[in-house]
Structure 1
């Protein structure tokens, strides 16, 4: 039988449906605990806590069903859902690191992840950190130390959307017995499969494209079974960041349409990016889907498509003018996060100036002229007209 396409795997449940009546929407097991018929059956469940349904803080049938869908989509053996993307990121990073260990990561990573590294790993755990651009393999190789335990990636990276060569980095890491972890939220498993390129652990903020409707907060880790088992029995269970069954059911609803939504996000984003790079008020557009993108060749080598999130730099440093442009937008709502049905605009410097040190902001190269936009499901020409009107204010 031919291998099914992602849209088919996400829509068709077949014999895996957990509803005994054959409902096309699997039931929500809104229960905190599950009972057993004997001492022996309960004892057997505790002997296999990774897979057994005992207490919803550990496992829940609804959540497990969605985890199976995610693991299959990403090409991983097993997935674990968390109550937020940061819960998943924290559990994954902490799993690999202990006091005195060394971490290599990017200058441009998700803001809260950078804060976790600085305020928890460095300040409280005594972990050493080296920051790299990630664009050059030699740069990463030179940063490796005898105590390096993890290389944490995000491709494309935050704000500037630079890429890392995942296959080369994973090979380098394996050579030195170093674990690799990547935030793959931007591309989703639809357009990028890091596990197939040798990365050990893949993390997602399911609040973004996987959720897709701006009504879920969730996170996921995907990897080989042995690694997820270790995380389940340690960080996941003890930190208690479980995903509620209702939210898991909502996530399943969203996964059904993920390939279709990603195709629309990509098509509209490319059209908007092409428009912006032709405008004199725009200094530069950072979108891996553009042929003019500096790493376009690598983008097409390790990704099969592109999402709807990108950034551009306005051709002015005048904050009053920047705010005038920002506030003139109507269809682009102003807010954090991304990946939902709605188009959003955000200036990363707003939060970075509060959450990050001046040194880290300088390292990231962020200024108030940098705009990040998430292209939703609206008509692309309507979004372009909205941007054109706001750019005219400059």
Structure 2
């Protein structure tokens, strides 16, 4: 099945809605049945039937088909956020007394779930440097039921050898979950490498317009039915039909957007790597990335996230740089049509030490490259760096 067919046609049964090129928005919360017997079938399999939009909805079903095909999965579930998708996958995979292994720098709410919430229910997590398969081997115990991956992560872009981790986990009967938001299904295929469940913050590149918060979870039908019967239906963190419709619209241009983002990012990356006021540039395709070989084997194209470590020892200098940016909007999130800047120091008080703080240095600024012209973005970065 070719990519253009998936993005533009898969799941869209146009003869069923008067030949409309754009699928209709099925905003209905409930669906009627002509007989008790037919309604009984709806209750028997809400995963596949349209009974109540909290379970399944025709517009959401189109999105599910497209995303499952993009990830090479049997099916997909749609959630109200990426955090909801990851949380549902985790809760469906563990029980009290179990153990989880997770990469050291996951998305902040993934870390909060595993570090702060699950211990209340008797589930422990070991965080490891995922760049070395040996660290997973050492962390796994007889009680390990889940390995949580994020490759690359969304700040400093460390990767895991997904095929190696999948072999290790599968050989011990351990489920694997990978956040694939950074690479998108166009550039990385975790399921093809043996990963069981793949999550996305669809808020990012998949939607691409900064107007939807959504999450997606892809995998085998058996695993997703397990998620559906448990946390999906119980917690109710579903995606609305309207947001699903907007996501379908966003997917139309995914390939061309990512192609433009990749080309611009590589030009910006070259500029930043050569600039004397930048200590280091973090990106999977950076020339000094120690995992560059893994990048070339595992990721087929560039993504638009670049994190720069500014060559300064003052938070005030970081603020001067960020405040001087004119073409980068300063905000959270990433992956939209617009270029963004997120300074780590904004999370901390202004008098926080630049490098003594546990975790990431406050001299880091994450950039998300959008659809603007590369020369415009480079010029904006150059004038802001002059003020550092």
Change (3 A) 1:339 1:14: closer
User: Which SS does the other structure have where 1:96 is aligned?
Assistant: coil
Structure 1 position 99, deviation (Å): 1.5
Aligned residues: 383
Q: Which moved more, 1:9-18 or 1:263-272?
A: 9-18
1:6-21 matches, cutoff 5 A: 6-13=3-10, 16-17=13-14, 19-21=16-18
Change (3 A) 1:17 1:182: farther
Counterpart check, 1:157 vs 2:181: no
Aligned 8 A contact 2:12 2:62 in 1: no
Task: String of CA shifts for 1:58-99, please: whole Å, max 9, x gaps.
Answer: 110000111101100110000000011111111111111122
User: Which SS does the other structure have where 2:38 is aligned?
Assistant: helix
User: Which SS does the other structure have where 1:310 is aligned?
Assistant: strand
Q: Which moved more, 1:315-324 or 1:165-174?
A: 315-324
Structure 1 position 350, deviation (Å): 3.0
Distance 2:296 2:28 in 1: 45
Aligned 8 A contact 1:75 1:196 in 2: yes
User: Which SS does the other structure have where 1:371 is aligned?
Assistant: strand
Counterpart check, 1:274 vs 2:270: yes
Distance 2:63 2:184 in 1: 15
**Partner residue of 1:369?**
363
Out of 366, 371, 388, the position equivalent to 2:382 is: 388
Structure 1 position 349, deviation (Å): 4.3
User: Which SS does the other structure have where 1:114 is aligned?
Assistant: helix
User: Which SS does the other structure have where 2:318 is aligned?
Assistant: helix
Task: String of CA shifts for 1:90-133, please: whole Å, max 9, x gaps.
Answer: 111111112211111111111111112222112x2121111111
Aligned 8 A contact 2:103 2:149 in 1: yes
**Partner residue of 2:82?**
85
Structure 1 position 271, deviation (Å): 0.8
**Partner residue of 1:117?**
114
The higher relative CO (CA closer than 8 Å, separation ≥ 6) is in 1
Out of 61, 68, 71, the position equivalent to 1:71 is: 68
Distance 1:235 1:353 in 2: 37
Out of 42, 47, 50, the position equivalent to 1:50 is: 47
**Partner residue of 2:354?**
none
Distance 1:36 1:313 in 2: 59
Distance 1:286 1:381 in 2: 20
**Partner residue of 1:307?**
303
Distance 1:103 1:187 in 2: 24
Counterpart check, 1:202 vs 2:198: yes
Change (3 A) 1:350 1:117: farther
1:182-193 matches, cutoff 5 A: 182-193=178-189
**Partner residue of 1:358?**
none
**Partner residue of 2:20?**
23
Q: Which moved more, 1:215-224 or 1:88-97?
A: 88-97
User: Which SS does the other structure have where 2:200 is aligned?
Assistant: strand
Distance 2:379 2:210 in 1: 24
Change (3 A) 1:383 1:15: closer
- TM-score, normalization by structure 2: 0.96
Change (3 A) 1:130 1:311: same
Structure 1 position 18, deviation (Å): 6.9
Ranges in structure 2 where 5+ consecutive residues have no aligned partner:
351-356
- TM-score, normalization by structure 1: 0.94
Q: Which moved more, 1:208-217 or 1:282-291?
A: 282-291
**Partner residue of 1:357?**
none
Distance 1:106 1:18 in 2: 47
Change (3 A) 1:300 1:17: farther
Ranges in structure 1 where 5+ consecutive residues have no aligned partner:
355-360
Structure 1 position 135, deviation (Å): 0.5
Task: String of CA shifts for 1:257-291, please: whole Å, max 9, x gaps.
Answer: 10110111111111111100101110001111234
Counterpart check, 1:263 vs 2:259: yes
User: Which SS does the other structure have where 1:76 is aligned?
Assistant: coil
Change (3 A) 1:209 1:63: same
Distance 2:117 2:348 in 1: 18
User: Which SS does the other structure have where 1:249 is aligned?
Assistant: helix
Out of 117, 126, 131, the position equivalent to 1:130 is: 126
Counterpart check, 1:216 vs 2:212: yes
